[in-house]
Amino acid sequence: MSNTLKHTKSFFKSFASFLGPGYMVAIGYLDPGNWATDLAAGAQFGNKLLFVILLSNVVAVLLQYLCVKLGIVTKNDLAQSCRKYLPNGVNIFFYILCELAIIACDLAEVIGTAIALNLIFGLPVTLGIILTGLDVMVILFGWNTKHFRRFEIVLFGCVALVFACFVVLIIKAQPEWLSVFKGFVPNRLVLDNRDALYIAMGILGATVMPHNLYLHSHIVKFRTPKNEGTTEDNLGVPLFVETFDEPECNEVSPLNVSTQVSSVTYNTIPADYMPLVNPNSPFNYFKLIKNAIMYSNYDSILALSVALLVNSSILIVAAAAFYKIGETNIAELKDAHSMITANLGPFAGFCFALALLLSGQSSTITGTIAGQICMDGFLGNKIKLAPWLRRIITRSLAIVPAVLFAVFKGEDSINDLLVLSQVVLSLQLPFAVIPLVYFTCSKEIMTIKHKVGNEEYVEKSYENSKLLGFLAVIVSIVLTFLNGVLIYQSLFMDETKK
């Protein structure tokens, strides 16, 4: 019994050191763009599309697992891998698409935050959009890479508060729980109803965010195990960790060898995490890699489970507050807030607006980090911008069209811009998913050659298994198809419904 307790304590102690990246990624699954599709699904079809959210989450877990493997095994994030393994022209094309996706994501954050400020403080949406530019400066002044763990804790707190707000909303809404449980069982609604299919594709398309793939594959490198030996083609460390004599990603050939003493997380990994094998053996390092992938994947699954609960809660609240009383035409966030306030009370309306504000602001933090990761990963030393300057430029590219749209088309139509931002994100998704699947299915890329001292190199491959590779390819094909259909229907919805 004492051994069981000891091993259990050791497991949770080790697992705790890997908590964090998953919750930074989970923020992307709670952004204002997801809210619109979840609210529409609940208002129009009750709980019947809950299974689509569940399916989307399963797909997300699979793709984030591939990100974990890529980052920990190769010590390159997705952007760096594109720079290393793809032709320069293709790499630059992917970078441009990635920047457009980050601007679109910024646009959703700006609009969501501005609407939340309007709902809570009564500020005009146009003024709220302008004020969102100030949050960039607050984040940048508070940013210190030595305190990266603190940012993870802050984001964890934001996710927890958003979840708490929807717990309150569910208690107020009093949903029919039998209907909720039945909603997680797949049904024929999406096959029989075009509108349901459209919303279902919107949920799938909005759930997996392209910038999350770049972000997650990078930040898991903070959990890369120590390397006391020599690893062939060991390309280094996380973006914000200072190193010396570290070769540039695109300057290293597959035959190059670099020695790295440490590329470990800022928080110390417990001694219990070290496997009980000869510390001078390459198999020790391979065991560390395996454990790092396992614990990081557990972190991702746990965090995405919380995101699943929040997204499901949004739909459940919409079904209980709107669908049950026949209010099925809830097209905008402001409409949803008004109906929640009228049907569930002012406190419920405040919780809704507060959750929207928190999701927008927390997405801003991860967007700031993801933008810098993509620029440095895709371009290396070709273009160097200070993080504050880069962030001001990208946020301005989001604020300016939002302000112009609000001024010339009216604040009531700002939700159309939110929908457009999700279309742009959907357009970029295949160009992030397909390279990710390709890299992780490649034996050459996912093989580690490690030795200690003058011993011979020992190889270990972490490529996807045939089953995992097959599932990943199917997911990439399906996501590409669904996003293509979603883009078409979003841009030509009136024609398709005639």
Could you read off the pLDDT of 43-58 as tens digits, one per residue? 899 999 999 999 999 9
Contact criterion met (CB below 8 Å) for 471 and 62: yes
pTM as predicted: 0.82
Instruction: Identify the H or E element spanning 458.
Output: strand 458-461
Q: List the beta strands (DSSP E) in 215-361.
A: 230-232, 257-259
Q: What is the pLDDT of residue 228?
A: 53
The owner of tokens 């406190």 is: 347
Candidates 217, 106, 205, 202; CA nearest to 430 is 205
Residue 257 pairs with which residues in a beta bridge? Answer: 232
Per-residue pLDDT at 490: 62
Please give the pLDDT value at position 14: 73
Instruction: Specify whether the CB–CB gap between 18 and 296 falls below 8 A.
Output: yes
DSSP conformation letters of 159-208: HHHHHHHHHHHHHHH---HHHHHHHTS--SHHHH-HHHHHHHHHHHHHHS
Specify the pLDDT at position 70. Answer: 95
| Contacts with 121 (C-beta within 8 Å, 6 or more apart), sequence order | none
CA–CA separation, 381 and 39 (whole Å) = 43
Domain boundaries, the chain: 2-496
Regions in the chain scoring below 50 on pLDDT: 229, 234-277, 494-498
What pLDDT, on a 0 to 100 scale, did the predictor assign at position 227? 55
Q: What is the pLDDT of residue 181?
A: 95
How far is it, in rounded angstroms, from Cα 69 to Cα 436? 10
The C-alpha atoms of residue 58 and residue 109 are separated, in whole angstroms, by 25
Query: Yes or no: is domain 2-496 CATH 3.40.50.1100?
Result: no
